[in-house]
Amino acid sequence: MAHTELKAMSFPFKDPKFIFFTDFDGTITLKDSNDFMTDNIGFGGDMRRQGNRDVLENHKTFRDSFREMMDSVTRPFPECVDYLVENIKLDPHFNEFFQWALKNEIPTVVLSSGMRPVIKGILEKLVGKDADKIDIVCNEAVAREGKRIDEEGGWRIEYHDESGFGHDKSLEIRPYAKLPANKRPTMFYAGDGVSDLSAARETDLLFAKKGHDLVSYCARENVPFTIFEDWSSILATVKKIVAGKQSVDEAAKEGFEMYKQGAAGVKPANGHAK
């Protein structure tokens, strides 16, 4: 991929020194919109959680598990969007982080396994006029063959790529990592769960949400990470790194120490993800 095709190198700022990539559901938002929809108007939380376990234990691809979740929701898609925009809230500190990032010319890029109309609807409502400065790379929702997207059982998820993730987030990040040293920005990523596994190795510093599946995965696979509870802790760490007061390696070392001490919200587990 050519440098000119790397959108975050020119939008909304040219040649940034830092880029913040982030998951959306359960990371920027307090609740995962897809989980919320599946639990309340789909096949329910028990089946969803079993699907997550199957993915973490390599019994099933995320692509297949997530399609099963979305297929269990049969309401017309516009009703789904309205339902989620009404019920999903942002982390209370995300807007503070985002406004600071804009002032410091740090692009924020959402890499999501969710669907564009849902993400755009929530961000437009809760971020406001600056929401269009967030680049969104995600899946889509399309009409099923012979049906309309606004009728019962009329929609399905359309994946971003052909990978086992449906949207392999690492494919978006990796071309930036291959830029020449004098062009390559320092890259951050924030996530919480199984859809973030492909991205976990790709950036300079990974923020893994306390108490969630991604922490267990990173510890098991020796992927450097630090812990966040909300976006205030992300902002504090990124501010220190941007100011040159802390290195990404030092931040990652802190995260693994928290995990070993049992302060990451999951139990250290002899190499096994919980």
Verify cis geometry, omega within 30 degrees of 0, for the bond prior to 12.
yes
Q: Which of 25, 91, 168, 196 is catalytic?
A: 25
Task: Give CA–CA dist 264/52, Å, rounded.
Answer: 20
Identify the residue whose tokens are 């220190």: 240
The closest of 30, 236, 27 to 113, measured between CA atoms, is 27
Contact present, 205 and 227 (Cβ < 8 Å): no
Look up residue 189 and give its two tokens: 């990523």
Q: Does 46 participate in catalysis according to the annotation?
A: no
Instruction: Report helix, strand or coil for 125.
Output: helix
Please, are residues 84 and 105 in contact by the beta-carbon 8 Å criterion?
Answer: no
Q: Are 192 and 34 in contact (CB under 8 A)?
A: no
| Known active-site residue 23 | yes
- Catalytic (active-site) positions: 23, 25
